[in-house]
Each structure stands twice: as structure tokens, then as C-alpha cells.
Structure 1
């Protein structure tokens, strides 16, 4: 299964979600490769920090920020149960390639007014990709959400009526994610009983059901 996290808007938490989903599937015993397709290389930076901390490698990370991704990802998928693509912001060629590579596309969004995050460009690129990949599965995922706020509820309600729809699982605004990033760790390694770890686990499980 190839899962791409894409949104032309930066700062929505693509890398955090990509790393934690990869880590969760690896924790369950699956073979996982994470593709850092963002020219900023944040996932690779995390991996290097992890190595400096002397922590064991949980999954492979490779940098592949080029528009041949759709030709190279299937080869990676032959040797992995999951390939997770951390996509680029605002690079249309790379984004098109990631869309053509993916089985599932996740669009992370944060609670905000509808027109603030409903990216016309990413949705247009998805429609283009579906000409070639009609079975492409696409979902919004609500990230950095304070569940009891009015804006979070309104965002969830607005997304519920959209195509693509929103996943039932969401990820809260958790300090542990920032701490984990700083030290090359994942939330479950800091506290496997934390809400952050439980939310990631629920999200990974829901994503896994999408292609069944």
C-alpha cells in the first residue's frame, strides 16, 4: 500500500503524520519505507537526529524529491508492506507524480474556515490523477485539532459533506509531537499510553481499512 500525504499548503503537519504513521505500522511488525519527497527534507532531518541520539532505525527513509516518483515508488512497494510519501508543498510536478504513485492520498487540514484550507489546486490535481488512477482513494484528515472548539466542530461538519470525505479519526494538538520531532523520536516511544499515540494508532487502523 502506498500512502501519500499531500497538501499544497505548508505547515499542516504532513511530515509529523507521515513519520508517525510509518512508525505505527513498523511497530506492528510491518515493513515500511518512508519517501521524503519534500525538497525541505524534514523527514530526513528527523532520521539524522534519531541517529545522533543513538536510537534504532524503525523504518527506512529515502529522499526522492523528483517528478519520477510514480515510476520509482512501485519498485519500493515490492519490498515493503507500506510506502509512506511525505509530499511537497507548492511543487505541482512532484505532487502530480506522488498522486500517480499512491493508492491512498491523505490531505491533512487544520481546523480553520472552509476557504482557508480547501485547496482548489490539490483537488484539481486529484481529479487529473483520477483520469489515470480511477481507483485512487482520497481522504481529508483533521490534524492539530482541539476537539472541543467550535471551529474544530465546524470544520469536521463541513468536511463531512465534501468529496473527498474526512476520516473519522483525527489528531489532536499535542505537545508530545513537537518534543518527539526535536529528539528524533515518535510519540509512542515517549509515552505509549498518551492520547497522541492512541490517536495515531486509530488513524493507522482506519487507513488500513480503506483498501479492503
Structure 2
């Protein structure tokens, strides 16, 4: 199974969600590889920081920021249970390649006025990819949600009947993610019962219901 986190907008949490999905699967004894397809290399930086901190290896992270991803990712997937792609911002060729590789595309988005991002390039590219891969599944993921805000509720309601629809699980705006990342960790390694970890595990459960 190949899951890609894509959005042409930077700073929406693609890397954080990709690493935590991979980590959750690794904790289930799944063999997982993360493909860092972002030229900024944030997932690779996290992996290197984890190695410096001598953290146990949960999954492999490889850099593959090129538009041959749709050919190379399926080959990588032959040797593992899951591949998670941390996608690039604003590089159409790379996003097209990731879309052609993926079984499931997740579009992280922060709560904001619906018209501000719902017609973005990534949605156009998803529609384009479905011409060649009509079975491609896609979902929005609301990330960095401030607790109980009207805009978060309105965004979720606006996406309820949208294609792609939004997942029910939401991830809050929490300093735990930044604190864990500084030492190459994941939130459930730092505080397995904390709010951030619980939100991630709810998200992972919903993703798993889609990829079974």
C-alpha cells in the first residue's frame, strides 16, 4: 500500500503526518518505508536527528525527489508492507508522479475559508490522475486545528459533501509535535497517553479503514 501526503501549500503538516503514520504502522510490526519527495528534505532531517539521538530505527527514510517516483515507489513497495510519501510543495511534476504511484492520497489542510484552498492545484492534479487511475482514493485531513473553533467546524461541514471528502479524525495545534521532532521522536514515544498521540492513533485507525 502506498499512501501519499500531498498539498501544494507548504506548512500544512505533511511531514509530521507522514512520519507519524509510518511510526504507527512500524509499532504494529509492519515494514514501512518513508519516501521524502520534498526537496527540502524534512523527513530525512528528522531521520538523521533520530540517529544522532540514538533512537531505535522504526522505519527507513529515503530521499526520492524526482518525477520518476511513479516508477520507483511501486518497486520499493514490493519489499515492504507500506510506503508513505511525504510530498513536495508547488512542484507539479513531482506531485503528478506521486499521484500516479499512490493508492491513497491524503491532503493535509488547516481550517480556513473553504474557497481559499479547495480549488488548489492538488485537486486539479487528483482529477487529472483519476483519468489514468480511476481507483485512486483521496481524502482531506484537517490538521493544526485550534480546539473548538467555529472555523474548524465550518471547514469540516463544507467538506462533508466534497470530493474528496474530509476524514473525521482531526489533529490539533499542539506543541508536542514540535517538541518530539526536535529529538527525532514521535509523540506516542514521548507521551503515549497524551492528546496528540490519541489524535494520531484515531487518524491512523481511520486511514487503515480505507486501505484494508
- Quick check: 1:110–1:117 contact (8 Å CA) kept in 2? no
What CA distance in whole angstroms lies between the structure 1 residues aligned with 2:167 and 2:193?
22
Spell out the pairing of 1:19-38 with structure 2 (5 A cutoff).
19-38=19-38
- Quick check: 1:4–1:84 contact (8 Å CA) kept in 2? yes
- Residue in 2 that maps onto 1:8: 8
- Quick check: 1:22–1:33 contact (8 Å CA) kept in 2? yes
Task: Report SS of the residue matched to 1:23.
Answer: helix
Task: Report SS of the residue matched to 1:7.
Answer: coil
- Residue in 1 that maps onto 2:110: 110
Task: Report SS of the residue matched to 1:62.
Answer: strand
Gaps of 5+ in 2: none
Report how many aligned residue pairs link the two structures.
212
- Residue in 2 that maps onto 1:190: 190
- Structure 1 runs of 4+ aligned residues shifted over 2 Å read none
- Residue in 2 that maps onto 1:81: 81
- Taking structure 1 as the reference length, the TM-score comes to 0.98
- Taking structure 2 as the reference length, the TM-score comes to 0.98
What does the per-residue CA deviation read over 1:133-190, in whole Å, with 9 as the maximum and x for residues that have no partner? Answer: 1100000000011230111111111111211100011111111000011111000010
Task: Report SS of the residue matched to 1:210.
Answer: helix
RMSD of aligned C-alpha atoms? 0.9
- Residue in 2 that maps onto 1:68: 68
Task: Report SS of the residue matched to 1:79.
Answer: coil
Residue 142 (str. 1) matches residue 150 (str. 2): no
